[in-house]
Amino acid sequence: MADNIPKGKWKQIKGKVREESGKLTGNKSQEIKGKAEQAAGKVQEEFGKAKRNIKKAIGD
């Protein structure tokens, strides 16, 4: 259930590495893909947090 939180954080880390490698190599495409991956990871993490909070609220 709450596995979205660590998966989202991991996706953010991978995206940051991709972004930085794109900057180092001058590859704009990799840089943009990295930023997008970070954003997707953040959304996934926040979804996991919301899901966890809802479960706590309903007492399940």
Amino acid at position 52, single letter = R
pLDDT attached to residue 59 = 84
pLDDT tens digits for range 6-43: 999 999 999 999 999 999 999 999 999 999 999 999 99
* Predicted structure pTM score: 0.87
Of 13, 1, 3, 2, nearest in space to 42 by CA: 13
Confidence of residue 2 (pLDDT cuts 50, 70, 90): low
Confidence of residue 57 (pLDDT cuts 50, 70, 90): very high
- Has residue 3 got a pLDDT over 60? yes
Angstrom distance (rounded) from CA 45 to CA 50: 9
